[in-house]
Every structure is written in C-alpha cells, then in structure tokens.
Amino acid sequence: VVGFVDDEGYTYDDSTAVVDGRWVGLPIDEDNEYDQTDARLKAWVEELKKEFI
C-alpha cells in the first residue's frame, strides 16, 4: 500500500483507516475541512511521487 498520510492535523475520534498514526490513503473532509483540501492533495501527490520514483 502506498499513499499513507500522517494523522497530525486531522480532527477525528477514531478510524480503522489509521494504522500506527498514519491514514491509509488521503482522507478528504469536504464538509468540515474543505479549506485544507487543496494543500493536503498537493502534499499527498508529492509524497506519491517520492514513493513511485
């Protein structure tokens, strides 16, 4: 699996999608944190580039 994201900066109670403090994939919350989506997406894509190169 690639594309893990640190859970730091996310507000949530509990999730089975968090493993060892990292999200499995990119969580997007357009209802509550829509103002952070663009920056999170850009950072995630940059991380994916590193993982695949």
Number of domains in the chain: 1
At residue 53 the predicted structure's pLDDT band, cuts being 50, 70 and 90, is confident
Using only C-alpha atoms, the chain has a radius of gyration, in whole angstroms, of 11
For residue range 5-50, list pLDDT tens digits in order: 999 999 999 999 999 999 999 999 999 999 999 999 999 999 999 9
Domain that residue 23 falls in: 5-52
The pLDDT of residue 20: 96
Whole-prediction pTM value?
Answer: 0.83
Contact (Cβ atoms closer than 8 angstroms) between residue 36 and residue 44: no
- Confidence (pLDDT) at 45: 97
Pairing of strands 18-19, 5-6: unpaired
Q: How confident is the model at residue 1 (pLDDT cuts 50, 70, 90)?
A: confident
Instruction: Yes or no: say if 5 and 23 are a contact pair by the CB < 8 Å rule.
Output: yes
